[in-house]
Amino acid sequence: MSKYSKVIAGIGLPVRLCLLLAAGCSLTSCSKNSAESGPGVSVQVVKAKRGPISRVVSADAVLFPLDQAALTPKITAPVRQFYVQRGARVRKDQLLAVLENRDLAAAATESKGNYEQAEAGYKTRTAASLPEENNNYSRKARFRGKT
């Protein structure tokens, strides 16, 4: 027996089993099911209406929120104070917590000082170079007038 005939013989058994399974399924689906042909179940439909509560049930349960959101601050800083409890209902634009800002205030003051220093240096340099620029302009104007 050659190598290819062994492979074909090995494939033949699973193929035959699949064909037998498919034939069995098709025969059972063609027959009438006794539950489908039996009498239907009668159902009575009533419109819901308001009334007094007739029974109170006490039970342990786990409640899950309809909507929830994960909050993350834009900066990393410790929380100074919380204004709401965990799991409490909150509204849009409600203040939830205040972060520590001493280091940020110090950085802002330092940046403002650096800006003012740079602005003063700019004004000094432009004021010092302005007379020189005026002289250059007047020389160029005289030169253009002679030619």
pLDDT of residue 29: 58
Half-sphere exposure (Cβ direction) of 8: Cα atoms closer than 13 Å: 5
User: In whole angstroms, what is the distance from residue 99 CA to residue 75 CA?
Assistant: 9
User: In whole angstroms, what is the distance from residue 99 CA to residue 73 CA?
Assistant: 9
pLDDT of residue 2: 61
Total residue count of the chain as it appears in this document:
147
pLDDT, tens digit, for every residue of 95-133? 999 999 888 889 999 999 999 999 999 888 877 777 777
User: In whole angstroms, what is the distance from residue 121 CA to residue 126 CA?
Assistant: 9
pLDDT of residue 75: 83
Walk along the chain (147 residues) in steps of 10 and give the mean pLDDT of each run. Answer: 59 71 66 58 88 89 84 86 89 91 90 95 80 75 70
pLDDT of residue 109: 94
Domain locations in the chain?
A: 101-147
pLDDT of residue 13: 66
User: Are 69 and 87 contacting, i.e. CB atoms less than 8 angstroms apart?
Assistant: no
Kindly list the distances between the CA atom of residue 53 and the CA atoms of 46, 47, 49, in Å, as whole numbers in the listed order.
18, 17, 12
DSSP 8-state assignment for residue 31: S
